Copies of this chain bind each other. A is one copy, B any other.
Amino acid sequence: MKIHLIAVGSELLTPFFRDTDSLYLTGRLNDLGLDVAAKIIVGDEIDNLRSAVRTSLAEADLVFVTGGLGPTGDDRTREAAAAVLGRPLILREDIVRTIEKRFLRLGRPMPSSNRKQAEVIEGAAVLANPAGTAPGQWVEIGKKTLVLLPGPPSELQAIFEAEVWPRLSSRRRACLARLVLKTTGKTESEVEDLIKDLYPKEEDRRLTILASPGQIELHLTASAADSPAQASAPLTALALELKKRLGPAIFSEDGADLEEVVGRRLRERKETIAVAESCTGGLLSRRLTRVPGSSATFREGFVTYSNPSKRKRLGVPAETLETYGAVSAETAAAMAEGVRRTARTDYGLAVTGIAGPSGGTADKPVGTVYTALSDEMKTSVERVVFLGDRERVQIQSTQKALDMLRLRLREKEDG
């Protein structure tokens, strides 16, 4: 079943808009094993609205139109849908009375403009609105269905749950299973090259790659007619093969972010950490403490932006800073060792680098970052040159540092 969502309203086409309704509908339809094939967002102009409804009805089996059911001159969804279907709008006096009663409860008369909310497309089922004045409409056209719902989220959700969900449940196609593998340390194309022969050929399975700075995610979905177990079986097999190919690059199979994975392992091991950072300016501490319960493992963080601060707080020797510079493997190592020593933690994690936009040299261009991890056994340092703007370099740097810690913890568990 191919589904389109059409959201109506000129305010949806401003730079400030967040599309709550379509995210809600997508989520609930997914719960029924139904995918959304396309979302269309149009303004209030009747021409655009008509052409969107016409196109979607031609392409999809089930079309939701949200918004444009209010009482004002801007609200033209009923009119546009009726025109596309070539059916008249019929004023239903029973609905007028329901709306009047609602106003009465608010202690005021119904403005005459609200009468148009009682206009129903010929042949449509009326979907009662417990939370507002505009009822929804459910129109069947041969094998296709057009559903009109009001835009305010509370009204849309109330009608969906009471009237739409039961109607859709009866025709639901399948159970949907979903799995997310998160990786770090490889680029999108490296991941792609390792797994490209695994893209499922079957209609009912899908593998999607999603890239963000320092993180590549694999989203797996599958559907099956009979049971959730039947849907998840092929995913489990596919996930197993992906894990074989990608190995330790995979850090999460349950949606957890890198800081959550690392925080959880530290808590399990009852180990503690302290952090020293310069070019990431607090982001590394921020990420580790974002997770509730982080106070069990996170002891302290130092944002040592200046050289005196690196010396005084972390005991980085003046000679190290002079000889190798603040952005160097030697300084990174001294920062990690220093923060571990002064905070008396199991791990010291450090970042120093050039986030940009200025400050680069031929030797150490903008994006050059050293991350260091120190524990009772050893201190390791890694150098990477990250691409992108200041923010991207900072995010990737913290990702790298957290990943060093994750791999060290993994090593200990294996060994």
Query: Which residues in A have some Cβ–Cβ distance to B below 8 Å?
Result: 10-19, 23-24, 26-27, 30, 35-45, 48, 51-52, 55, 59, 70-74, 102, 105-107, 110-114, 131-132, 152, 154, 187-190, 192-193, 196, 199, 206, 208-211, 219, 275, 280-290, 292, 294-295, 298-306, 309, 313, 343, 356-358, 385, 387-392
> Which B residues touch A305, using CB under 8 A?
289, 294-295, 298-301
Task: Please report the C-alpha to C-alpha distance between residue A11 and residue B15 in the assembled complex, in whole angstroms.
Answer: 21
CB–CB A289/B300 < 8 A = no
> Which B residues touch A15, using CB under 8 A?
23-24, 26-27, 30
Kindly report how many copies of this chain are found in the complex they form together.
2
CB–CB A14/B302 < 8 A = no
Given contact pairs A15-B23, A38-B43, A40-B39, A10 touches B73 in the complex (Cβ within 8 A): no
Q: Which of A152, A190, A301 has the most CB of B within 10 A?
A: A301
Given contact pairs A16-B23, A59-B51, A192-B113, A11 touches B303 in the complex (Cβ within 8 A): no
Could you list 19 A-B pairs, sorted by A, with CB under 8 Å?
Answer: A10-B206, A10-B219, A16-B208, A38-B42, A39-B40, A39-B41, A70-B211, A71-B188, A74-B208, A74-B209, A111-B189, A113-B196, A152-B211, A280-B286, A292-B390, A298-B303, A300-B303, A309-B343, A313-B313
Task: Please report the C-alpha to C-alpha distance between residue A30 and residue B43 in the assembled complex, in whole angstroms.
Answer: 15
Task: Please report the C-alpha to C-alpha distance between residue A389 and residue B211 in the assembled complex, in whole angstroms.
Answer: 27
CB–CB B72/A189 < 8 A = yes
Task: Please report the C-alpha to C-alpha distance between residue A366 and residue B392 in the assembled complex, in whole angstroms.
Answer: 33
Task: Please report the C-alpha to C-alpha distance between residue A122 and residue B401 in the assembled complex, in whole angstroms.
Answer: 44
Quote the shortest CB–CB distance from A278 to chain B (angstroms).
9
CB–CB B302/A306 < 8 A = no
Q: Which of B13, B74, B289, B306 makes the CB contact (< 8 A) with A303? A: B289
> Which B residues touch A114, using CB under 8 A?
189
